[in-house]
Amino acid sequence: MKATTPPWPVISRILAAVLGGYLFTYAFTAALARLLPLAKVDALVVATLASFLVYTLAILWAFGCRSARRAWAGLALALPLAVIGFWPQLLETLG
């Protein structure tokens, strides 16, 4: 917004929010659907319906937290969540 500040932190934050936030939400939704003690289809629908709220909060968090680096660090939680969500597929790939 101000011409004096370098644009990189802002761009990094936007990328973290939009792309990082989506990846986080994707992994979160997959993990939630896997963990919910419901029938497969029900868990899928419930987790997916909630995903837009998760994405919104992830975006707000990425902009609200103190630095872009922290935002990226938080969104890196996507990795363990993805491992939970795609556990069977992962096992299959590993042999």
Partner 1 sequence: MKQKTLTQSLSWLHTWSGLIFGWLLFAIFLTGTLAVFDKEIDAWMRPELPTQLIDQAEAAQRALDYLAARHPDASTWNIGLPTERSPSLSVSAGEQRRGGGQYLDPHSGEPLEARETAGGGFFFRFHFTLNMPRNIGIWVVGLAAMAMLVALISGIVIHKKIFKEFFTFRPAKGQRSWLDAHNATGVLLLPFHLMITYTGLVIFYLIYMPAAMDALFDGDRDALFRELRGAPAEQRAEAGRQPTLAQRGEQSGERAERQNGASERPAGRGERPNGQGGRAGEQSRPAAEAAPLTALGPLLAEAERVIGPVAGLSIQNPGRSDARIEARPVLGNRIELTKGQSMQFDGVSGAVLRMPTESRPSQLTQRVMAGLHFAQFGGYPMRWLYFLCSLASCAMIATGLVLFTVKRRRRHEAEGAVGALLYRVAERLNIAVVAGLALACVGLLWANRLLPVELAQRGGWEVRVFFLVWLATLGHAIVRPWLQAWREQLGLAAALCLGLPLLNLAGMVRGSHFWLEASAVALGALLAWTCWKVGQPPQERPARRAAKTLAEAN
* Least distance in angstroms from the C-beta of 70 to partner 1: 12
Residues that bind partner 1 (CB under 8 A): 1, 3, 25-34, 38, 40-49, 51-53, 55-56, 59-60, 63-64, 66, 85-86, 89
Take residue 26 and report the two structure tokens written for it.
């994707």
* Least distance in angstroms from the C-beta of 73 to partner 1: 17
Closest CA to 78 of 27, 32, 31, 29: 27
* Least distance in angstroms from the C-beta of 93 to partner 1: 12
Half-sphere exposure of residue 5, counting CA atoms within 13 Å on the CB side? 7
Rank residues 40 and 69 by Cβ distance to partner 1 and give the closer one: 40
46, 47, 49, 52 alpha-carbon torsion, rounded to 10° = 160
